[in-house]
Amino acid sequence: MNYLRTAMLLAGLTALFMGVGYLIGGASGAMIALVIAAATNLFTYWNSDRMVLRMYGAHQVDRASAPELIGLVAELAGRAGLPMPRVFVMDEAQPNAFATGRNPENAAVAVTTGLMQQLSREELAGVIAHELAHIKHHDTLLMTITATIAGAISMLAQFGMFFGGHRDNNSGPGIVGSILLMILAPIGAMLVQMAISRTREYAADNLGGRIVGQPMWLASALMKIEGAAHQVPNFEAERNPATAHMFIINPLSGQGMDNLFTTHPSTQNRIAALQQLAAELGAHAAPSLGANENYPPQGPWGRSSWRGPSRGPSRGPWG
């Protein structure tokens, strides 16, 4: 059902994109819009991972620089039946993570130093399993395509404002129609993009919980990241809000209009779904998520054990 819903939403986004092109330039406008979208998607297909990793200043690490992190990713990738992805670390205080890449053979997982510092090894395993689930579901490519089409719709709508409203015949939307198009088309595209993102987050939580074997590890991590994301700003994400959907938790502070249309489901709903999965799998539930004393900010991967990718984490109790 999730895949069917995602396919329907993606089809709706494509139809909206071509509809905007049709309103601006008729049948030829729709075809031009389709060609532009195809060219843009082709470029992002080959370059999206490099672009976003460079945007966030991510450094690739290996067994020499981060042996425990690489070992953890390798173990979970093996459980998921995936090839070993490239692993990157972002020098970012906000705990967060994302996956990128056009397919499982060219995938990458990126985590922040804040995530390494504030999560226990079990919680970190839950987060990495979630990102590997995105890779296994090919969500990294899907979300790139939806973001590209949504961006193209906004571009076309603005294009229609400058050109569609100056037509003397009835083939264009007119000045009032152009204004409405410029406002409503991007909102419609954003709503569809959010619906796709939310659907894929639930699916990745479910598969991630199955990969790691303990869904409550991921639930505990989500609670910690949610709390920190609103307290520790991610300035690069604030400058590039279109990438917010890539992270496991919305990295935007929400102080402005950023959270008016959130790309992520409610964290409490995600935790509830993971609790249900834990019961289904017979996994032992973690201590109450509301009891912060059971989950102190410092875990085995705390500040004292993480020194950055150049030195790698020291051997902790899980080493």
Q: CA torsion angle for 232, 235, 238, 239 (degrees, to 10)?
A: 180
Local confidence band at 136 (pLDDT 50, 70, 90 cut-offs): very high
Q: What are phi and psi of 281, to 5 degrees?
A: -80, -10
Q: Which percentage of the chain shows pLDDT scores above 90? A: 41
Between 33 and 65, the higher pLDDT residue: 65
The answer to whether residue 65 scores a pLDDT higher than 60 is yes
Catalytic residue among 131, 226, 280, 293: 131
Length of the chain: 319
pLDDT in tens, 38-58: 777 677 678 778 888 999 999
Q: What are phi and psi of 138, to 5 degrees?
A: 60, 30
Instruction: List the structure tokens of 245.
Output: 């959907």
Distant-in-sequence, close-in-space partners of 252: CB < 8 Å, separation ≥ 6: 234, 237, 238, 241, 244, 258, 259
Closest C-alpha among 160, 157, 163 to residue 189: 157
Classify 56 as helix, strand or coil: coil
d(CA 308, CA 298): 16
pLDDT in tens, 72-113: 999 999 999 999 999 999 999 999 999 999 889 999 999 999
Annotated binding residues, written as ranges, equal: 130, 134, 201
Known catalytic residue: 92? no
Between 12 and 96, the higher pLDDT residue: 96
> What is the rounded average pLDDT for all residues in the chain?
76
In which element (H, E) is residue 26 found? helix 2-55
The answer to whether residue 247 scores a pLDDT higher than 50 is yes
Is the separation of the CB atoms in 196 and 102 below 8 Å? no
DSSP class of residue 315 equals P
d(CA 220, CA 151): 34
pLDDT in tens, 161-212: 555 544 444 455 556 555 666 666 666 666 666 666 677 899 999 999 999 9
d(CA 87, CA 3): 27
- The number of beta carbons lying within 10 Å of the beta carbon of residue 122 is 18
Is the separation of the CB atoms in 132 and 82 below 8 Å? yes
The domains of the chain are located at 2-285
Q: Where are the beta strands (DSSP E) in 91-228?
A: 97-100, 108-112
Of all residues in the chain, what percent are helix, strand and coil, respectively (each to 5)?
Answer: 65, 5, 30
pLDDT confidence of residue 298: 40
Between 222 and 26, the higher pLDDT residue: 222
Q: Token match 């950023």: residue?
A: 258
DSSP class of residue 288 equals P
Q: What are phi and psi of 232, to 5 degrees?
A: -110, 110
Burial 149-181 (b: 16+ CB within 10 A, else e): bbbbbbebbebbbeebbeeeeeebbbeebbbeb
pLDDT confidence of residue 43: 75
Across 56-70, 80-94, 135-149, least confident range: 135-149
Annotated binding residues for Zn(2+), written as ranges, equal: 130, 134, 201
Instruction: List the structure tokens of 233.
Output: 């700003």
